[in-house]
Structure 1
Amino acid sequence: MTPSTTGSLYEAFDPETARALTERLEIHYTPKHGSWLNIAEIELSALTRQCLGHRLDRLDTLNHELAAWQHATNTDRRQVNWQFTSADARTKLRHLYPEN
């Protein structure tokens, strides 16, 4: 079993605990490589520094702070300047594109 599946929980915990944990998780499978991943990591780093850099002892406080951070971030409407174009992809990844 790969580490990205819930099977690893059954290896680490008793079945009842593992089942309870799997019901709480929502797993999103994402590519391991890609420029969008760098953007996601930057946003998670900003979230950690700007919102989660201090102890939050209540779930409702955490949810309130996360919602406020998300609202401020979305209001700011930062944009990403993608520099890897489709033409670049066809050049660098020509083995993935059929010949015309």
Structure 2
Amino acid sequence: MAERPHPTKSWLFPGNLAGRPTGATPLANRLISCGIAARRAKNSAVLALTSDLPASILSEIPGLHINTAVDRVRFVKRDWAAFIEAVASSVDGSRESR
């Protein structure tokens, strides 16, 4: 059964079927043909959200598996103090040996 488009509804990315938006795969292909790396942009956006949202909500928004969301939250919220301290001490140590 064909649907008629709603007179007040217009899609930002209309699909080939009347009144329906384009699917994820055709949209990704259109972006790639324009030189836009959609996957990198999505991953960057998810990592930006990760710093503000708990894993349970993060898994629902972009449709991530809960384990993936938990791993990303752990990665983003990692305490980098030990790394910074190690780099600073190695820089100080190399200066003293000169």
TM-score by length of structure 1 reads 0.23
TM-score by length of structure 2 reads 0.23
**Larger Rg: 1 or 2?**
2
